[in-house]
Amino acid sequence: MTRRMGWKMRWHGAPARACFALLLAGVLAASAPARAAAPGSSAPEFKLDGLQAPIALLAYRGKLVYLDFWASWCAPCKRSFPWMGELQKRHGGAVQVIAIDVDTSRADAERFLATTPAGFTVAFDPSGATAKAYAIKGMPSSLLIDANGQVLHVHTGFTADTPAQVESEIAHALQRSSKEGKSQP
Protein backbone atom coordinates (compact mmCIF):
# COMPACT_ATOMS: atom_id res chain seq x y z
CA MET A 1 0.00 0.00 0.00
CA THR A 2 2.81 2.39 0.84
CA ARG A 3 4.55 1.81 -2.48
CA ARG A 4 1.41 2.44 -4.44
CA MET A 5 0.71 5.61 -2.49
CA GLY A 6 4.32 6.77 -3.00
CA TRP A 7 4.00 6.30 -6.77
CA LYS A 8 0.81 8.35 -6.86
CA MET A 9 2.42 11.09 -4.85
CA ARG A 10 5.45 11.27 -7.12
CA TRP A 11 3.47 11.39 -10.37
CA HIS A 12 0.52 13.40 -9.24
CA GLY A 13 0.31 17.14 -9.64
CA ALA A 14 2.87 19.47 -11.22
CA PRO A 15 5.52 16.85 -12.16
CA ALA A 16 2.95 14.74 -14.00
CA ARG A 17 1.57 17.76 -15.83
CA ALA A 18 5.10 18.87 -16.78
CA CYS A 19 5.94 15.43 -18.21
CA PHE A 20 2.68 15.31 -20.11
CA ALA A 21 3.29 18.82 -21.51
CA LEU A 22 6.79 17.86 -22.68
CA LEU A 23 5.50 14.67 -24.29
CA LEU A 24 2.67 16.53 -26.02
CA ALA A 25 5.06 19.25 -27.25
CA GLY A 26 7.33 16.59 -28.75
CA VAL A 27 4.45 14.87 -30.54
CA LEU A 28 3.14 18.16 -31.91
CA ALA A 29 6.58 19.27 -33.06
CA ALA A 30 7.13 15.97 -34.86
CA SER A 31 3.79 16.17 -36.62
CA ALA A 32 3.87 19.89 -37.42
CA PRO A 33 4.36 20.70 -41.10
CA ALA A 34 7.80 21.87 -42.09
CA ARG A 35 8.25 25.54 -42.87
CA ALA A 36 8.57 26.02 -46.58
CA ALA A 37 12.00 26.82 -47.95
CA ALA A 38 11.36 30.41 -49.00
CA PRO A 39 13.52 32.94 -50.82
CA GLY A 40 16.12 34.27 -48.40
CA SER A 41 16.09 31.16 -46.19
CA SER A 42 18.80 28.51 -45.97
CA ALA A 43 18.11 25.45 -48.09
CA PRO A 44 17.75 22.37 -45.86
CA GLU A 45 20.74 20.05 -46.23
CA PHE A 46 20.20 16.50 -47.44
CA LYS A 47 22.13 13.37 -48.30
CA LEU A 48 20.28 10.88 -50.51
CA ASP A 49 21.05 7.85 -52.64
CA GLY A 50 21.79 8.77 -56.25
CA LEU A 51 22.00 6.71 -59.43
CA GLN A 52 25.68 5.92 -58.87
CA ALA A 53 26.63 7.48 -55.52
CA PRO A 54 25.13 9.42 -52.61
CA ILE A 55 24.11 13.02 -53.36
CA ALA A 56 24.55 15.74 -50.72
CA LEU A 57 23.55 19.36 -51.22
CA LEU A 58 26.60 20.48 -49.24
CA ALA A 59 28.88 19.00 -51.93
CA TYR A 60 27.59 21.63 -54.38
CA ARG A 61 28.33 24.64 -52.18
CA GLY A 62 30.01 27.26 -54.37
CA LYS A 63 27.69 26.50 -57.32
CA LEU A 64 24.25 27.70 -58.26
CA VAL A 65 21.87 24.73 -57.79
CA TYR A 66 18.57 24.16 -59.57
CA LEU A 67 16.86 21.65 -57.23
CA ASP A 68 13.81 19.89 -58.66
CA PHE A 69 11.37 17.53 -56.90
CA TRP A 70 9.62 15.08 -59.25
CA ALA A 71 7.69 11.81 -59.41
CA SER A 72 7.22 9.14 -62.09
CA TRP A 73 3.43 9.76 -62.26
CA CYS A 74 3.83 13.51 -62.87
CA ALA A 75 3.13 14.57 -66.48
CA PRO A 76 4.69 18.06 -66.13
CA CYS A 77 7.80 16.39 -64.67
CA LYS A 78 8.15 14.36 -67.86
CA ARG A 79 7.99 17.60 -69.90
CA SER A 80 10.56 19.32 -67.67
CA PHE A 81 13.29 16.66 -67.98
CA PRO A 82 14.53 17.51 -71.51
CA TRP A 83 14.70 21.20 -70.58
CA MET A 84 16.62 20.45 -67.35
CA GLY A 85 19.08 18.36 -69.38
CA GLU A 86 19.62 21.28 -71.75
CA LEU A 87 19.96 23.64 -68.79
CA GLN A 88 22.71 21.45 -67.34
CA LYS A 89 24.54 21.31 -70.71
CA ARG A 90 24.23 25.03 -71.35
CA HIS A 91 25.52 26.15 -67.96
CA GLY A 92 28.04 23.37 -67.38
CA GLY A 93 30.06 23.93 -64.23
CA ALA A 94 28.28 27.13 -63.16
CA VAL A 95 24.90 25.50 -62.45
CA GLN A 96 24.14 22.06 -61.06
CA VAL A 97 20.74 20.52 -61.71
CA ILE A 98 19.69 18.03 -59.02
CA ALA A 99 16.37 16.23 -59.43
CA ILE A 100 14.99 14.44 -56.37
CA ASP A 101 12.50 11.65 -57.04
CA VAL A 102 9.81 11.27 -54.38
CA ASP A 103 8.33 7.94 -55.52
CA THR A 104 8.12 5.40 -52.70
CA SER A 105 9.39 2.76 -55.15
CA ARG A 106 12.76 3.30 -56.81
CA ALA A 107 11.65 0.85 -59.52
CA ASP A 108 8.93 3.33 -60.58
CA ALA A 109 11.55 6.06 -60.87
CA GLU A 110 13.92 3.83 -62.82
CA ARG A 111 11.15 2.92 -65.31
CA PHE A 112 10.50 6.67 -65.78
CA LEU A 113 14.24 7.32 -66.29
CA ALA A 114 14.46 4.50 -68.87
CA THR A 115 12.00 6.38 -71.11
CA THR A 116 12.89 9.93 -70.03
CA PRO A 117 16.66 10.07 -69.54
CA ALA A 118 18.18 12.63 -67.20
CA GLY A 119 21.21 14.59 -68.33
CA PHE A 120 21.76 15.76 -64.75
CA THR A 121 22.12 14.46 -61.20
CA VAL A 122 19.24 12.34 -59.85
CA ALA A 123 18.64 11.47 -56.19
CA PHE A 124 15.97 9.32 -54.53
CA ASP A 125 13.83 10.29 -51.52
CA PRO A 126 11.48 7.30 -51.04
CA SER A 127 10.69 8.26 -47.44
CA GLY A 128 9.75 11.79 -48.46
CA ALA A 129 11.87 13.28 -45.67
CA THR A 130 13.67 15.76 -47.93
CA ALA A 131 10.46 16.80 -49.65
CA LYS A 132 8.95 17.31 -46.19
CA ALA A 133 11.97 19.38 -45.06
CA TYR A 134 11.36 21.65 -48.06
CA ALA A 135 7.56 21.59 -47.46
CA ILE A 136 6.93 20.53 -51.06
CA LYS A 137 3.23 20.71 -51.88
CA GLY A 138 3.05 19.90 -55.61
CA MET A 139 4.90 18.21 -58.46
CA PRO A 140 7.15 19.33 -59.88
CA SER A 141 8.51 21.87 -57.42
CA SER A 142 11.87 23.52 -57.88
CA LEU A 143 14.17 25.90 -56.09
CA LEU A 144 17.10 27.98 -57.24
CA ILE A 145 19.76 27.92 -54.53
CA ASP A 146 22.78 30.23 -54.54
CA ALA A 147 26.42 29.27 -53.98
CA ASN A 148 26.05 29.92 -50.24
CA GLY A 149 23.04 27.63 -49.83
CA GLN A 150 20.41 30.39 -49.73
CA VAL A 151 17.09 29.89 -51.55
CA LEU A 152 16.70 32.50 -54.30
CA HIS A 153 13.47 31.40 -56.02
CA VAL A 154 10.78 28.74 -55.59
CA HIS A 155 8.50 27.37 -58.33
CA THR A 156 5.60 24.91 -58.26
CA GLY A 157 4.54 23.33 -61.53
CA PHE A 158 6.09 23.44 -64.99
CA THR A 159 4.41 25.45 -67.73
CA ALA A 160 5.50 26.83 -71.11
CA ASP A 161 6.64 29.99 -69.27
CA THR A 162 8.77 28.23 -66.67
CA PRO A 163 11.97 27.79 -68.74
CA ALA A 164 12.23 31.49 -69.68
CA GLN A 165 11.48 32.58 -66.12
CA VAL A 166 14.07 30.22 -64.59
CA GLU A 167 16.68 31.09 -67.25
CA SER A 168 16.22 34.78 -66.38
CA GLU A 169 16.61 34.03 -62.67
CA ILE A 170 19.74 31.98 -63.36
CA ALA A 171 21.27 34.71 -65.53
CA HIS A 172 20.60 37.29 -62.81
CA ALA A 173 22.06 35.04 -60.09
CA LEU A 174 25.18 34.27 -62.15
CA GLN A 175 25.65 37.95 -62.91
CA ARG A 176 25.28 38.84 -59.23
CA SER A 177 27.75 36.15 -58.12
CA SER A 178 30.21 37.29 -60.79
CA LYS A 179 30.04 40.86 -59.45
CA GLU A 180 30.44 39.66 -55.87
CA GLY A 181 33.46 37.56 -56.90
CA LYS A 182 35.14 40.53 -58.58
CA SER A 183 34.63 42.81 -55.58
CA GLN A 184 36.42 40.43 -53.21
CA PRO A 185 40.23 40.83 -52.97
Residue 53 C-alpha from the chain's centroid: 18
**Residues 6 or more apart from 47 whose CB is under 8 A from it?**
54, 55, 56, 57, 58
Residue 182, pLDDT score: 54
Q: What is the pLDDT along the chain (185 residues), one digit of tens a residue?
A: 444 444 343 434 433 333 322 222 332 233 334 567 899 999 999 999 999 899 999 999 999 999 999 999 999 999 999 999 999 999 988 999 999 999 999 999 999 999 999 999 999 999 999 999 999 999 999 999 999 999 999 999 999 999 999 999 999 999 987 776 654 44
pLDDT at 19: 32
Type of residue at 168: S
Q: Which amino acid is at 51?
A: L
pLDDT of residue 83: 97
Q: What are phi and psi of 122, to 5 degrees?
A: -120, 135
Residues with Cβ within 8 Å of 183's Cβ and at least 6 positions away in sequence, in order, are none
Q: What is the DSSP code string of 62-127?
A: TSEEEEEEE-TT-HHHHHHHHHHHHHHHHHGGGEEEEEEE--S-HHHHHHHHHHS--SSEEEE-TT
pLDDT score of 93 = 86
In the predicted model, what is the mean pLDDT of the chain? Answer: 84
